[in-house]
Amino acid sequence: MALTIYHNPQCSKSRQALKSIDDSGGPPDIIRYPDSPPSVADLRTLLEKPRVRTY
């Protein structure tokens, strides 16, 4: 399963999340949303996907 992160390099939480993903194995697909914001269609697609709980 490919993992995609919508990443803002200026955000400390986003940097922490990316580091955790990198430390856990395979490289994620990185979308730098400040440079390339998702379209309305992309957001709708994301909202239609099953949600995963994080603890």
Residues designated as active site: 11
| β strands within the chain, DSSP E | 4-7, 29-32
CA 33 to chain centroid: 9
Q: Which residues contact 17 (CB under 8 A, 6 or more apart)?
A: 5, 7
